A and B are shown apart, each in its own frame.
Chain A
Amino acid sequence: MRFVLRLLLSIALALATGFGLSYSALTDGRLFGATQLGAWTTWPDIGSPLPNPYTRAHIAREAALHLGRSEGLQFIAHADSAGEPLDLACSYRLDGRSPVSSFWTLAAVDGDWVNLAAPGSDAALRSSEIARAPDGALRIHVGTALRPGNWLELTGTGPFSLVMTLYDTTALTGFSSADTTMPAITREACR
C-alpha cells in the first residue's frame, strides 16, 4: 500500500513539474528563452534562424508571424512596473525612453491578441505621431478614461497587455546601455 502511495505521489509530482514547467517556459518564459526589461518581456532569439528549443516551442505555440532579427523586436507587458497586472479599469502612464529604432508602434491587446483600441481612435500609436518632452523622453497615457497629451484610447473591461514593436532596432544588441531601456509603466487612477 505504501509503495502504491509513493508511486502515485511520485507520478503526480512528475506530471505537475513537467507540464507546469513547460507551461511556464512557454508563457512567461523569463527563466528560459525570454528577456525582461522592466515591465517588458521579449524573446530575443525569436527572429534568429537557429532559435533555442524554448523559443522554437514558443514559435510553434504562437503560430504567428514573428519579426526577423534584422526587422525588429517586439516587447510585451502584462503588468505595470510595480508588477500589478494591467487592467482596463485603470489608466496607465508610460514614461522614459525606448531603444534606438527606425520607428516603433504601441498597441493594447487582450489575451487573444485582439486590438483593444476604442472605435474611431488610432488602433496603435506610432513613434512619429507622439509629442515628446524637450529632452526627447516620451510620456504616453493608456486607458479608457480621457487623458491629456499622447493618449492610446482603449475600450472594454478586464486584463490587457501592451505591445511595443521596435522596427530596425538596436535593442539588446549590446551597443549601449540605451539598448536595454524601456519605458516605465505607472498605474494612475482606477474606476
Chain B
Amino acid sequence: MPENGGYMIAAYVVVGAILIGYSLSLYLRARRSLRA
C-alpha cells in the first residue's frame, strides 16, 4: 500500500481551514453590520 498519509492530512487541514475561515468571515461581517 502506498504511503501518502501526509497528503490526506494536508487536504483535511486545508478543507477545515477554508470552512472555519468562511464561517468566521460571516460571523465578523454580521457583527460589523449590527454595529453600523
- A and B, one complex? no
